């Protein structure tokens, strides 16, 4: 998948086949054109294991911080935790989620024919059968499929490895087929000359001779000669005798490539449109500006405009956490779901969906492109990248679209429909809202502020939407970790540490409380996140060595370490609201809604990105040195109810 998005992005597949059976151009019957469908490219190296946070979807070797420095973190599908078959249930949850985006299937990247990848393939097929009305197709990755590394079957041809996956699928109703033939949609077919066309015909002939005729869709990531009319119609290569479609990348940075694909390929063929947006490719340090949602939406508009030629669209990708992905993650949670659903419906029907609810989004990066990492080396970005933030709105009627970036506020009067406000990003909190007749109709605040001191460079797009607001967690089952406590619900009084039973698996949430701290020396009041036994993170305000401060501390097995601190005025008998947010690897601290700090890549020592044992856990409150009273305690989850 790595090389796919270097060029920009997009496999394209065609639908109507005109086949010439011999040099006399005897016409064969074209396959029945299927309905318009939208797929997403699926990377089996990032499966939704979803069994528990330590070994499941969030973590595992794919996200080992010592070896990986930029990947997104998927959201755990919590319904799988108590299922009879947690692994299968996680795939069922994932497919149900994909269907809510308007997707009709996954095209699974066959990087290698190894046991782990085959297991993912089998789980996806079975889960799609359970869910229904969802197709699973195979995308052999020619860049890696013949590579013997990774535990794949040795001494087998590419064709044999592909056939192995199709044999596993058997008669599964979930397998993507055209005219009862299994669809094979490879990546990486093209080469600088036309000889590859002859080679691909030989491969398809091999499948036919093996008793498994396939519906073949040649795809490639470059502007290869197959798109020129002579290659498409050349009787010597006979491309039309075995392929019913082809595709080309559609990078947002090069609409000319998309146009050439339309111009060169015979008008009798229907192509598959591609839709992608690349955050950052770590290999060559390429970066394509997403400009919030604008590149993503622009390519959708291209596909919709040319839907007379396109039957299928593929989104790049669902879950390539090393490059791009629209699936729920701790970067954008569900911020791509409403946008994708809107455009998938438009593409399929040919009519823009009626907007029935006002929704607002905010998109940005967590750090400026030129921000110097404090702990790890900075990459040199080989392509131009700009620092911007976008407020996007789906409006039922004219309104005022408001974008706040840091301390700067932009307001724009806009008509009904899909409206965007793109501005230079400033450090601090990023938010957007819709106002109509002087009232706030919808608002969204990014869970991660833009900050200038990241431990490592990470240019993934952060997103938030009013369509999925924070979920309030019921405060019950309070227990004292230490000290003595009284109270219930959203009030606690005592000293030591008190935890609320909101679920030890919860990792992405904010905890806040109002408290009037004691001004006696060496006393503090704070809120706790991600507590496990005697270890947790703490935002505290109080007095240390006769100075009033705020502190973010890590407490591991009772040993306190100050991660960051600063001066803070604490007037006597004045209540303060303290809040600590958790989103992925970020800790964000506030007092009275004023941003104090953003901590990223935190952990037990400077050698690792974070300690996966302590990226989830219970919430609570803490009082040190004196008894304190906490009111308006709130725990709110960023995770949608998956």
| Tens of pLDDT, residues 457-468 | 777 889 999 999
**Mean pLDDT computed over 513-519:** 96
Confidence of residue 408 (pLDDT cuts 50, 70, 90): very high
Contact 364, 375 (CB under 8 A): no
Per-residue pLDDT, 60:
41
Per-residue pLDDT, 61:
43
Residue scoring higher pLDDT (309 or 433): 433
DSSP symbol at 227: G
**Mean pLDDT computed over 279-295:** 67
pLDDT digits (tens, 9 = 90+) for 303-346: 898 888 788 888 888 998 877 889 998 889 999 999 999 999 99
Residue scoring higher pLDDT (1 or 129): 129
Contact 312, 10 (CB under 8 A): no
Percentage of the chain modeled with pLDDT above 70: 73
- Cα 506 to Cα 637: distance, rounded to the nearest angstrom: 8
Q: Which two tokens stand for residue 376?
A: 């790890």
Model confidence at 276: pLDDT above 70: no
- Cα 183 to Cα 190: distance, rounded to the nearest angstrom: 18
**Mean pLDDT computed over 490-503:** 88
Contact 424, 412 (CB under 8 A): no
Model confidence at 234: pLDDT above 60: no
Q: Would you give the distance in Å from CA 525 to the centre of its chain?
A: 36
Model confidence at 201: pLDDT above 80: no
pLDDT digits (tens, 9 = 90+) for 530-575: 898 888 999 999 999 999 999 999 888 888 889 899 999 999 999 9
Confidence of residue 412 (pLDDT cuts 50, 70, 90): very high
Per-residue pLDDT, 607:
40
pLDDT digits (tens, 9 = 90+) for 106-157: 999 999 998 889 999 999 999 999 999 999 999 998 878 877 655 678 778 8
- Cα 203 to Cα 218: distance, rounded to the nearest angstrom: 11
Give the position of tokens 């000889």.
195
Contact 590, 428 (CB under 8 A): no
Confidence of residue 48 (pLDDT cuts 50, 70, 90): confident
Per-residue pLDDT, 432:
98
Mean of all residue pLDDT scores within the chain: 80
DSSP symbol at 172: -
- Specify the range with the lowest mean pLDDT, choosing from 65-74, 366-375, 549-558: 65-74
Model confidence at 406: pLDDT above 60: yes
- Specify the range with the lowest mean pLDDT, choosing from 46-60, 351-365, 392-406: 46-60
- Specify the range with the lowest mean pLDDT, choosing from 1-5, 79-83, 540-544: 1-5
Per-residue pLDDT, 25:
30
Per-residue pLDDT, 10:
32
Per-residue pLDDT, 216:
82
Q: What's the angle, vertex CA 331, arms to CA 134 and CA 119, rounded to 5? A: 40
Residue scoring higher pLDDT (500 or 188): 500
Give the position of tokens 């701790």.
330
Per-residue pLDDT, 32:
65
Per-residue pLDDT, 16:
26
The contacts of residue 97 (CB under 8 Å, 6+ apart) are: 77, 327, 328, 642
- Buried-exposed string 239-264: b where 16+ CB fall within 10 A, e elsewhere: bbbbbbbbbbbbbbeeeebbeebbeb
Model confidence at 630: pLDDT above 90: yes
Model confidence at 171: pLDDT above 70: yes
> In Å, how far are 410, 427, 582 from 448, measured between CA atoms?
20, 11, 9
Give the position of tokens 């299994």.
182
Model confidence at 218: pLDDT above 90: no
**Mean pLDDT computed over 72-79:** 73
């Amino acid at each position: 998948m790595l090389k796919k998005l270097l060029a920009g992005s997009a496999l394209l597949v065609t639908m109507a086949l005109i086949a010439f059976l011999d040099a006399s151009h005897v016409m064969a019957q074209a396959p029945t054109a299927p309905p318009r469908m939208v797929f997403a490219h699926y990377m089996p190296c990032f499966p939704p294991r979803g069994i528990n946070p330590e070994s499941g979807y969030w973590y595992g070797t794919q996200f080992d911080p010592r070896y990986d420095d930029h990947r997104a973190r998927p959201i755990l599908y919590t319904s799988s935790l108590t299922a009879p078959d947690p692994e299968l249930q996680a795939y069922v949850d994932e497919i149900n989620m994909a269907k809510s985006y308007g997707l009709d299937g996954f095209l699974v990247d066959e990087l290698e024919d190894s046991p782990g990848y085959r297991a993912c393939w089998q789980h996806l097929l079975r889960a799609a059968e359970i869910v229904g009305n969802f197709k699973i197709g195979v995308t052999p990755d020619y860049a890696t499929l013949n590579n013997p590394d990774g535990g794949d079957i040795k001494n087998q041809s590419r064709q044999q490895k592909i056939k192995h996956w199709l044999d596993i699928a058997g008669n599964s109703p979930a397998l993507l087929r055209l005219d009862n033939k299994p669809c094979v949609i490879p990546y990486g077919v093209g080469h600088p000359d036309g000889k590859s066309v002859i080679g691909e015909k030989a491969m398809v002939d091999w499948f036919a001779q093996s008793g498994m005729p396939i519906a073949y869709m040649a795809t490639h990531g470059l502007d290869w000669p197959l798109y020129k009319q002579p290659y498409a119609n050349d009787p010597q290569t006979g491309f039309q005798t075995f392929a019913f479609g082809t595709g080309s990348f559609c990078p947002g940075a090069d609409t000319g490539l998309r146009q050439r694909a339309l111009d060169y390929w015979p008008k009798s063929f229907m192509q598959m449109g591609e839709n992608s947006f690349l955050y950052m490719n770590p290999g060559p340090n390429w970066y394509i500006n997403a400009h919030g949602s604008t590149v993503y939406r622009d390519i959708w508009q291209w596909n919709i405009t040319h839907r007379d030629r396109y039957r299928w669209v593929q989104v790049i990708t669902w879950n390539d956490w090393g490059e791009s992905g629209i699936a729920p993650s701790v970067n954008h949670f569900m911020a791509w779901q409403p946008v994708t659903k809107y455009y998938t419906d438009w593409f399929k029907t040919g009519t823009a969906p009626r907007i029935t609810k006002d929704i607002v989004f905010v998109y940005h990066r967590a750090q400026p492109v030129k921000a110097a990492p404090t702990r790890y080396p900075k990459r040199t970005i080989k392509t131009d990248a700009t620092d911007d933030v976008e407020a996007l709105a789906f409006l039922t009627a004219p309104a005022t679209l408001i974008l706040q970036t840091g301390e700067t506020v932009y307001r724009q009067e806009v008509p009904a429909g899909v409206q965007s406000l793109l501005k230079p990003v400033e450090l601090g909190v990023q938010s957007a809202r819709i106002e109509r007749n002087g009232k706030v109709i919808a608002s969204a605040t990014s869970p991660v502020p833009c900050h200038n001191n990241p431990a490592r460079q990470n240019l993934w797009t952060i997103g938030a939407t009013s369509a999925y607001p924070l979920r309030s967690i019921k405060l019950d089952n309070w227990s004292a970790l230490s000290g003595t406590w009284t109270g219930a619900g959203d009030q606690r009084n005592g000293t030591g540490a008190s935890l609320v039973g909101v679920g030890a698996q919860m990792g992405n949430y904010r905890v806040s409380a109002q408290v009037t701290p004691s001004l006696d020396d060496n006393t503090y009041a704070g809120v706790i996140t991600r507590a496990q036994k005697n270890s947790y993170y703490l935002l505290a305000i109080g007095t240390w060595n006769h100075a009033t401060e705020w502190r973010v501390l890590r407490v591991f097995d009772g040993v306190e370490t100050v991660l960051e601190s600063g001066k803070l005025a604490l007037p006597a008998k004045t209540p303060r609201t303290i809040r600590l947010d958790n989103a992925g690897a970020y800790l964000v601290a506030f007092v009275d809604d004023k941003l104090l700090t953003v901590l990223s890549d935190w952990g037990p020592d400077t050698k690792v990105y974070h300690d996966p044992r302590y990226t989830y856990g219970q919430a609570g409150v803490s009082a040190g040195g004196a008894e304190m009273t906490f009111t308006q305690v709130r725990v709110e989850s960023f995770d949608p109810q998956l």
